[in-house]
């Protein structure tokens, strides 16, 4: 499955059906955890939308 690297929400959408739930957020980073202890952190930086506003 290919993901658009500019879309962190698409990664979160894929993680949730796999059993990961968001357990915390600090700033623009969201941390997801699985019942078996696996964790992953996804940076939710909206760089593209910021660049478009500055044009």
- Domain boundaries defined on the chain: 8-53
Place of tokens 């955890």: 33
Superfamily of domain 8-53: Hypothetical protein. (3.30.920.30)
pLDDT for 11: 85
Which of 10, 43, 11, 40 has the alpha carbon at shortest distance from 23? Answer: 40
Which regions in the chain score pLDDT beneath 70? 1-6, 46-55
* Rounded-to-integer distance, Cα 35 and Cα 15, Å: 13
The pLDDT, as a whole number, for residue 24 is 97
Structure confidence at residue 45 (pLDDT): 76
- Output 47-51 pairs: Cβ under 8 A, ≥24 positions apart: 47/6, 48/6
Which pLDDT score is estimated for 44?
A: 85
């Amino acid at each position: 499955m290919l993901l658009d690297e500019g879309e962190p929400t698409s990664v979160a959408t894929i993680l949730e059906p796999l059993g990961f739930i968001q357990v915390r957020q600090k700033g623009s980073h969201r941390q997801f955890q699985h019942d078996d202890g696996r964790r992953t952190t996804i940076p939710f930086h909206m760089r593209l939308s910021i660049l478009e506003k500055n044009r």
